[in-house]
Amino acid sequence: MIDEIIERIVQFFSTGLVEKIIKAFLVLCDRFVNFILSLCEGNNYKKKDETVDVLYTSGNFLVINKKHDLLINSNDTKKKTVQTIMRKQFPEYVQDNLTHDFYFAHRLDFATSGILCIPLNKNACKEVCQVFEEQRARKYYLALLRGHTDFDEEVIDIAIGKPSGGSPMASALRNASLTIQSSVTGEDVRFKDTSKKMCTILEEERCQNPRRSITKVLVLDRGYYNGKPVTKVLLRPITGRRHQLRLHCAQIGHVIVGDYTYSLKIDTSPPRMFLHAFRLVLPNTIENLDIQTDDPFTEKALKYKWKVVEQVNSIANAFDIIDSF
């Protein structure tokens, strides 16, 4: 009896019927998937639109937490920017009379994440622009720097000029023990593909109209990122020049982790540049603003690739300390 059953099973599998059944089943599955997709398309199914992270909103201001590697706006409407995302997310705030739809009163670099304040009307925009022009805004950034600094707090005074030429930035960056000194900067024409790179006055004839630029630096922690020495700092720019924080950090021999431009295209392994606009204080007659984000550079946030071995200053006390010197 058992032998007969086994013989019939063998005959069944040898007839090719099983193969036909499997092929028929796969065809049915394919048709079913296509049917479901057609239903979704018929119902105008779309992938969920990307949105900006809103930190604060009122009748006068919208404050967002910009993602890294994201342009604020562009003349190319096909590019993903803060402008194109907000246009879908907040159509009620679009200003039809503006080329880029919104009042972008201040900027963040493409690679920099963090607080971006967007006035929602003309009067609010005028107020914000005046606050920045008069240097009454207080901006605080978090950054991870290559190497361990030999100071806990410092004021960097390096003048920055209008883009006009080149300088031996490479030699400055190779000297990790470069001392803080006053100098002037301009654009380095040898690195135009890395976006408006600035450089020092070591080649004086290549710099025009230098303006004094000041950045305060306060060390928070020293540790290791992916096994390499790194210092976590709070930065407060007193002035606002293009690439000021990135250039100033490079000039003292501690390039920001992941800064492709100022590492001379060497620092390519990190997933981003570790510079974040952490807190923004905007005193104004319409509505005083004091906005702060979460810290994106904690050990947990960086999946423990960043390990603290020495805490120098806590964030809780850091703002008062950096404002005092």
**What are the tens digits of pLDDT across the range 285-317?**
999 999 999 999 999 999 999 999 999 999 999
How sure is the predictor about 189, in pLDDT bands with cuts at 50, 70 and 90?
very low
Q: Are residues 121 and 224 in the same domain?
A: no
Q: Are residues 108 and 225 in the same domain?
A: no
Identify the domain containing residue 266 by its residue range. 138-181+195-324
Q: Is residue 11 part of a domain?
A: no
The answer on pLDDT for 198 being more than 80 is no
The yes-or-no answer on residue 109 being catalytic is yes
Q: Which amino acid is at 162?
A: K
* Lowest-confidence region among 57-61, 80-84, 126-130, 241-245: 241-245
What percentage of the chain carries pLDDT values higher than 70? 71
- Closest by CA to 242, choosing from 288, 185, 201, is 185
**What are the tens digits of pLDDT across the range 258-271?**
999 889 889 999 99
Q: Is residue 12 part of a domain?
A: no
Q: Is residue 9 part of a domain?
A: no
Q: Measured between alpha carbons, how far is 66 from 53 in angstroms, rounded to an integer?
A: 7
CA distances from 50 to 37, 91, 234, 312 (A): 22, 14, 30, 38
How sure is the predictor about 177, in pLDDT bands with cuts at 50, 70 and 90?
very low
Please report, for the domain that includes residue 307, its CATH number.
Answer: 3.30.2350.10
Q: Measured between alpha carbons, how far is 92 from 101 in angstroms, rounded to an integer?
A: 11
- Closest by CA to 195, choosing from 156, 153, 163, is 163
Q: Are residues 200 and 130 in the same domain?
A: no
Question: Which structure tokens are listed for 206?
Answer: 């290549």
Asked whether the beta carbons of 222 and 148 are under 8 A apart, the reply is yes
The answer on pLDDT for 225 being more than 90 is yes
Q: Is residue 186 part of a domain?
A: no
- Closest by CA to 215, choosing from 104, 266, 141, 289, is 141
Q: Are residues 205 and 256 in the same domain?
A: yes
Q: Are residues 91 and 227 in the same domain?
A: no
Q: Are residues 88 and 144 in the same domain?
A: no
Asked whether the beta carbons of 255 and 287 are under 8 A apart, the reply is no
Question: Which structure tokens are listed for 137?
Answer: 């805004």
- Alpha helices, DSSP H, located in 134-260: 169-174, 244-251
Which among 30, 76, 96, 109 is annotated as catalytic? 109
Q: How many CB atoms lie within 10 A of CB 86?
A: 22
Q: Are residues 96 and 199 in the same domain?
A: no
Q: Are residues 199 and 117 in the same domain?
A: no
What percentage of the chain carries pLDDT values higher than 90? 64
